[in-house]
Amino acid sequence: MKKYGLIGYPLTHSFSKKYFSDKFNREGKKDCRYDLYEIPTIQDLPEIISSQDGLIGLNVTIPYKEQVIPFLDNLDPACKAIGAVNCIKLTKKGLIGYNTDYYGFKTSLTNWIGKEKPQALVLGTGGASKAVCQALKDLEISYLKVSRKPDASTKKVTSYEEILASPSLLQEYPLIINSTPLGTFPNTSAMPDLPVEHLTANNWYYDLVYNPTETAMMKAAAKMGAKTKNGIEMLHLQAEAAWDIWNK
């Protein structure tokens, strides 16, 4: 039996098991299985690796996309630049880390906005944010990261407080990308602390959250005329990229 799976904590919001189980059924892959490994600490990873015979690959989700790196034997060169891992391949030479979030987001964003290059606000500074920022950089789209605790040493990070005080930033940076889990099931009423009333039809709001398919923030942005998109396409693209990595 070829085994694949997902590590993270918690995993109540994950679509990965259903996605890959459906894929295996659809493509007649009766020798493949996908499991969820909900581990309360990244220190539990070696036990998962040693106890699962036939394990070929793992997806990595919150909060381990950065914490997992010291447990890996090598990183894909592109992954080194990002500084976060969401895909692991088990090989005879050890564990190799990749980032398919980068590919999924970059492709999905390009499909949505075409050749336009609006300046972007990236909400969050975690592992998903790192992949988003690298994709924006490679697309030559300038961006500003938004954090609850901005780093005073860099001009690339601002705070929600500053945006609330200067809402014109929402028009200076019309593309807004939520790379945080805010709004994810079951906490579906949670929203980024933004002055929503200042959004207009000139704004794009891309939410990496995919459960629910329309977050509270997406609904609020749409009411102001903004264009919205969720993370479903990105999820599918990164999942297929992971599958290709595991089986190449």
Residue 200 makes CB contacts below 8 A (sequence gap 6+) with: 171, 224, 225, 226
DSSP letter for 22, please: H
Same domain, 195 and 112: yes
Same domain, 40 and 134: no
What pLDDT does residue 150 have? 67
What is the arithmetic mean of pLDDT over 28-54?
A: 97
Same domain, 197 and 120: yes
Same domain, 112 and 85: no
Same domain, 93 and 113: no
What is the arithmetic mean of pLDDT over 109-138?
A: 96
CATH value at residue 69: 3.40.50.10860
Give the orientation angle of helix 100-113 with respect to helix 127-138, to 10 degrees. 50
- Give per-residue pLDDT as tens, 139-187: 999 999 999 876 655 567 899 999 999 999 999 999 999 999 999 989 9
- Tell me if residue 115 is catalytic: no
Last residue of a domain, one of 80, 98, 116: 98
Same domain, 122 and 193: yes
DSSP letter for 201, please: T
What pLDDT does residue 151 have? 66
* d(C-alpha 212, C-alpha 15), whole Å: 11
Select which of 65, 89, 145, 229 is catalytic: 65
- 15 falls in which pLDDT band (50, 70, 90)? confident
What is the arithmetic mean of pLDDT over 189-202?
A: 98
Whether residue 242 lies inside any domain: the answer is: no
What pLDDT does residue 246 have? 98
CATH value at residue 134: 3.40.50.720
**Structural domain tally of the chain?**
2
What pLDDT does residue 13 have? 67
Same domain, 91 and 172: no
Whether residue 243 lies inside any domain: the answer is: no
Indicate the average pLDDT of the chain: 95
CB 245 within 8 A of CB 98: yes
What is the arithmetic mean of pLDDT over 45-70?
A: 96
Same domain, 114 and 129: yes
Last residue of a domain, one of 46, 71, 98: 98
Whether residue 181 lies inside any domain: the answer is: yes
User: What is the domain extent for residue 82?
Assistant: 2-98
What pLDDT does residue 104 have? 97
- For the chain, counts of helices (H) and of strands (E): 9, 12
Torsional sign, CA 10, 45, 104, 201:
positive
Which amino acid is residue 3, in one-letter code? K
What is the arithmetic mean of pLDDT over 11-30?
A: 91
Asked if pLDDT for residue 225 goes beyond 80, the answer is: yes
Whether residue 178 lies inside any domain: the answer is: yes
Question: Residue 37 — φ and ψ, nearest 5°?
Answer: -115, 90
Torsional sign, CA 110, 113, 115, 118:
negative
Last residue of a domain, one of 45, 71, 98: 98
- Give per-residue pLDDT as tens, 84-95: 999 999 999 999
